[in-house]
Chains A and B, each alone.
Chain A
Amino acid sequence: MICNILASNGTVEKSAFLEFMQGFSTFAIPVILFVVLVLAIINKVKVYEVFVDGAKEGFNVAVRIIPYLVAILVAIGMFRASGAMGYLIKILSPVTSLIGMPAEALPVALMRPLSGSGTLGMVTELLKEHGPSSFIGRLTSTMFGSTETTFYVLAVYFGSVGIKRTRHAVAAGLIGDTAGLLAALFICHIVFG
C-alpha cells in the first residue's frame, strides 16, 4: 500500500523528492566523516597517526582478493561468452512465463547473481528499447536493485581474509537472490501491473 502511494505521488512531488535524495547522498559521507572526526577529537585520538596505521592495510587487502576474484570472474566470463545462457533461457522460459515473467526480463534475472556490470548493460538496453516507464523497464530496474552480485561479493569478502571453504554461503546467497527477483516480479505486478 505504501508502495502504491509512493509510486503515484512520486510524480507530483518529484522536484522536492529529487532534491532531498540528491542532497541526502551528497551529504551522507561528509556527515559521517564529520561525526567520526569530532568524536575522535573529543576522545583525544591522535588522528593522523591512527589514520595512517589503519590505511596501511588497504594494499594487502586488495592484493589478497586477486586470486579469488580471478577464479570467479574468469568462470563467469567464459560462461557468458560460450552462449550457454541462451540455452538456459530456452529451457527456463516456458516455466517462468507461467509466473508472469516477461521473456525480456528472464536474462536479467539469470545474470543478476553472476555479473553486476553485465546486468546493468542488459537493463540499460531494455530501458532504451521499451522506455523507463514501461512494465519491462520498471521490472528490470527493480530487479537490478533487488539483490547484489552474489559471486562477486563472495569472492571479495571471503577472498580478503583467505577463506576457501565457503560452506553454505553460496546456497544462502542464491536462495536470497531467487527470493529477491521473484519478490521484484510480484511487487511490480501489483504496483505497476
Chain B
Amino acid sequence: MLNYIWIGLMLISLIVGAITGNLPAVTDAAIEYAATAVDIALGLIGIMAFWLGIMKIAEKGGIIRLLSRLIRPLARFLFPDIPKDHPAIGSIMMNVVANWLGLSNAATPLGLKAMEELQELNPDKETATNAQVIFLAINTASITIIPMTIIAIRTELGAANPFEIISTGIFASTVACITAVTAAKLLQRIPSIKKSNPLNKKNKAEANDDM
C-alpha cells in the first residue's frame, strides 16, 4: 500500500505542479525536505542514546519485567504472538505511558526500543509482523492526555482557558487509538494480509499446511 501512496503523492505533485505552475516549488521542496529528514534523524542521536542507556538500566534493574507482568492480560490480547514476560511488553508499556504523559522526547526512543525487541521475534527482517503493525497503530493514533504543544500555543495567544481542549482531546484520541488497533486486528484476518505475516510463513513451512 505504501508503494501506491508514495508513487501517487509523487506523480500528483508533478502533474498538479505542472498545471498550476508550481513545478519549481515542487523540486525545491524535494531538496529541502530531504535535508530536513536528515536533520530530524541526526537530531535524534543524543536523545536516543540517553533513553536507550536509561532503558538498559531499567531492564537490568527489573522494572521492565515488572511492567510486563503488570499489563500481561492486556498484552496477551493485543500481542498474542509475543512470548509471556518478553522484555518487548515492558518497553511497549514504557512507550505508551510516555505518550500518555505527553513526554514526546522520551516516547520515541522508548518506542524504537520496543520495535527493536519486536524485530527480534521477527523471522523476516523486512516485513512487519502483526505485533509490529499493532504497536505502530498504537503510536500513529496514540492517546494524548496532555497535548502540551497546543496548550503552550493557546496560552501564548492569551486563551481564556488554554486547557479546555484536554477533555475533548482525550475523547478524540481514545477513539482514534481504539479504532486504529481494531482496524489492524480486523485487517490482519484478510487472507492476503494473513499470508504475508512473517510468522505465518514460518509456521506454514514447518507444518506444511496449505491455506
Contact = CB atoms under 8 A, between A and B. Distances in A.
Contact of A184 (B40, B115, B116, B172): B172
B35 to A, nearest CB: 9
A83 B172 contact: no
A18 B148 CA distance: 12
Interface residue SS majority, chain A:
helix
A145 B52 contact: no
Interface residues of B, number: 109
A125 B146 CA distance: 21
Contact of B163 (A14, A71, A149): A14
A166 B193 CA distance: 10
Nearest to B154: A132
A42 to B, nearest CB: 7
Residue of A57, A131, A145, A150 contacting most chain B CB atoms (<10 Å): A145
A162 B132 CA distance: 12
B53 A66 contact: no
Main SS class of interface, B: helix
B111 interface: yes
Contact of B30 (A78, A149, A164, A171): A78
B71 interface: no
B69 to A, nearest CB: 14
Contacts of B149: 120, 144
B36 interface: yes
Given A80-B29, A123-B150, A141-B165, A160 B112 contact: yes
A62 B5 contact: no
B176 A180 contact: yes
A65 interface: yes
Interface of B: 1-2, 5-6, 9-10, 12-14, 16-17, 20, 22, 25-26, 28-30, 32-34, 36-38, 40-42, 44-50, 52-58, 60-63, 101-103, 106, 108-109, 111-112, 115-116, 118-119, 125-128, 132-133, 135-137, 139-142, 144, 146-151, 153-154, 157-169, 171-173, 175-177, 179-181, 183-184, 187-188, 190, 193, 196-197
7 contacts: A21-B151, A54-B55, A55-B50, A58-B44, A166-B1, A180-B141, A192-B168
